[in-house]
Amino acid sequence: MRLFPVTYSLLSKQAVGLHIQHNYEIGSVVKIQYFLRGMNDTYEVETDVDKYIFRIYRADRRSGSDIEFELELLRFLSAKGIIVSEPIPGKDGAYLRGFNVMEGIRYGVLFQYAEGHERPIHAAVDSYRFGESIGHMHKAMDHFESRHTREQLDMEFLIDKPLSIIRPYMEHRLADYNYLSEMAKELKKRTSELKVRGLDWGVCHGDLHGNTNAAFTEDGKLTHYDFDFCGYGWRAYDVAEFRLAREIHSGHDPEEVERLWDAFLRGYCSVRSFSENDLAAVPVFVAIRQLWLLGLCFQDSEFVGIADFNEGFIDSKMQDFKRLDYV
pLDDT, tens digit, 9 for 90 and up, residues 155-204: 999 999 999 999 999 999 999 999 999 999 999 999 999 999 999 999 99
Residues 173 and 229 both lie in one domain: yes
- Mean pLDDT for the chain? 95
Q: Which of 84, 112, 140 is the last residue of a domain?
A: 112
Q: 116 pLDDT exceeds 90?
A: no
Q: How confident is the model at residue 28 (pLDDT cuts 50, 70, 90)?
A: very high
Same domain, 203 and 308: yes
Instruction: Give yes or no: residues 96 and 181 share one domain.
Output: no
Domain count for the chain, please give it.
Answer: 2
Predicted confidence at residue 145, as pLDDT, reads: 96
Judgement on whether residues 74 and 104 belong to the same structural domain of the protein: yes
Do 94 and 136 lie in one domain? The reply is: no
Residue ranges making up the domain that contains 175: 124-322
Determine the residue type at 281. A
Verify that 106 and 136 share a domain, yes or no.
no
User: 149 and 100, same structural domain?
Assistant: no
Boundary-marking domain end, from 57, 77, 112:
112
Average the pLDDT over 119-129 and give the result: 94
Which residues pair with residue 112 across a beta bridge?
Answer: 52
Across the range 128-136, mean pLDDT stands at 97
Mean pLDDT of 250-266: 95
Q: Do the bridges between strand 222-224 and strand 214-216 make them parallel or antiparallel, or are there none, so unpaired?
A: antiparallel
pLDDT of residue 225: 95
Instruction: Name residue 215's beta-bridge partners.
Output: 223
Q: 212 falls in which pLDDT band (50, 70, 90)?
A: confident
Q: At 327, is the pLDDT very low, low, confident or very high (cuts 50, 70, 90)? A: low
